[in-house]
Amino acid sequence: MIDQRVKKLAEILVNYSLEIKKNDLFAIYGNQISAPLIKEVYLQAMNLGAHPYTHLALDGLGEIFYNNAKEEQLRYVSPLAKFEVEKINARLVILSPWNTKNMTNVDPKKQSIRSVAQQPLHDIFMKRAAKKDLRWCVTQYPSNASAQDAELSLEDYENFIFRAAHAHEKNPIKYWNSVFEKQEKIKNFLENKKKLHVVAKDTDLTLSVEKRKWINCAGKENFPDGEVFTGPVENSANGNISYSFPAVYGGREVDQIKLWFEKGKVVKSEAAKGKAFLKTMLDMDEGSRRIGEFAFGMNTGIKKYSKNTLFDEKIGGTIHIAVGLGYPESGSKNKSGLHWDMVCDLRKEGEVYADNELIYKRGKFVF
């Protein structure tokens, strides 16, 4: 018998996050682990008159690709992938890894080449998404690998995910609409601010958000969700920041990251673990050393770091700053094959000033 929480999660994704409607061309990405959710999403989309189809991944294909690909293959852009991103109305990506460390020994230079080559597809995707021509969402389905990373049993991890999604609510869509309303007040307050200043342990960073748009994320593109973000002015970041948790990218973990910025660009980087990988990613392209996103995490239902960026960047009382690609709808002009979210916990000590006024202290807005 299917877990009723899976049905609830599918209902939220189909009807709230993606707003699937009749005749939508709807791509669903996942694997065998996430099959129960894929089937339920597929069924509900069919019942709405949409045209869903699936991309099902096999464990190990990524390693085979990177271990054997020649440079020509790394740089290849599939015309089928381009056609898809130009034509689909909606895309759902369901994360449920077999092994979160499966890319650990892959050559990071190959990953970098591949990411840069796929940039034209990302540009098409981001432009369509900014114009609301393409609706998209990334979500998580419980897997043993992710549960182990979070240091939880599979059952406890299932409870963690479904509670974070509020799939236990009688009317979860009503709940997420209320989240939108609360975060909209924060967004409106930040909208006319010009300069942000973050002060915390080993952190003193300023950046400009003048004339940039703040985006309220309440379960549309990520689910579960809970953040308000913008795209800072590309040449404005100055100072340094120390990140609180390990940052994971492409299956690689980098711990105790410290970055120094001058005129918007990372000029120095340190890490206790994964320093060489960090540098390779920062050297990916022209935009990879600049900030593409600044965000406040606002989901107070997510309190525990789980080595899963989808959840960790939403932890209430944190900020996250992504180096690399910025979202056009925020006004960001930064382009890159990289988008790497890194989280700074401000709950114990930390302040954010906007135009020299204290607005955020120890993980809470104070205005």
| One domain for residues 14 and 161 | yes
| One domain for residues 87 and 215 | no
| One domain for residues 97 and 206 | no
How big, in percent rounded to 5, are the helix, strand and coil portions of the chain? 35, 30, 40
List Cα–Cα distances, 305 to 45, 51, 242, 340, 353, in angstroms.
33, 37, 16, 17, 25
Pair 272, 254: CB distance under 8 Å: no
**What mean pLDDT do residues 171-180 have?**
93
| One domain for residues 48 and 92 | yes
Residue 333 lies in a domain: yes
**Structural domain boundaries, residue 17:** 4-168
| Number of structural domains in the chain | 2
| C-alpha to C-alpha distance for 257 and 252, rounded to whole angstroms | 13
**What mean pLDDT do residues 88-97 have?**
97
Residue 132 lies in a domain: yes
**What mean pLDDT do residues 199-223 have?**
95
The sheet with strand 318-324 has its strands ordered as 215-217, 227-230, 291-297, 318-324, 339-345
Report angle CA 38, 34, 82 to the nearest 5 degrees.
65
**Phi-psi group of 251: left, alpha or beta (phi > 0 → left; psi -120 to 50 → alpha; rest → beta):** left
Domain termination site, one of 121, 137, 168: 168
The sheet with strand 90-95 has its strands ordered as 51-57, 25-31, 90-95, 135-140, 222-223
The pLDDT, as a whole number, for residue 33 is 97
The pLDDT, as a whole number, for residue 1 is 55
Residue 320, pLDDT above cutoff 60: yes
Beta-sheet pairing, 247-249 with 222-223: unpaired
| One domain for residues 268 and 346 | yes
**Phi-psi group of 169: left, alpha or beta (phi > 0 → left; psi -120 to 50 → alpha; rest → beta):** beta
| One domain for residues 196 and 296 | yes
Residue 183 lies in a domain: no
| One domain for residues 224 and 344 | yes
Band (84; pLDDT cuts 50, 70, 90): very high
Domain termination site, one of 118, 138, 168: 168
| One domain for residues 317 and 209 | yes
pTM of the model: 0.85
Residue 125 lies in a domain: yes
- Domain holding 14: CATH number? 3.40.1830.10
Residue 67 lies in a domain: yes
Residue 146, pLDDT above cutoff 80: yes
The pLDDT, as a whole number, for residue 302 is 87
Structure tokens of 34? 């996430």
Domain termination site, one of 168, 201, 218: 168
| C-alpha to C-alpha distance for 229 and 186, rounded to whole angstroms | 10
| One domain for residues 353 and 311 | yes
Structure tokens of 7? 């049905």
Residue 95 lies in a domain: yes
| One domain for residues 320 and 243 | yes
| One domain for residues 136 and 233 | no
Residue 201 lies in a domain: yes
Please enumerate in sequence order all residues whose Cβ is within 8 A of that of 20, keeping only pairs 6 or more positions apart, or say none.
14, 26, 44, 45, 48, 50, 90
The pLDDT, as a whole number, for residue 306 is 87
Please enumerate in sequence order all residues whose Cβ is within 8 A of that of 178, keeping only pairs 6 or more positions apart, or say none.
none
Pair 115, 200: CB distance under 8 Å: no
Residue 184 lies in a domain: no
- The crossing angle, in degrees rounded to 10, of helices 35-47 and 4-11 is 50
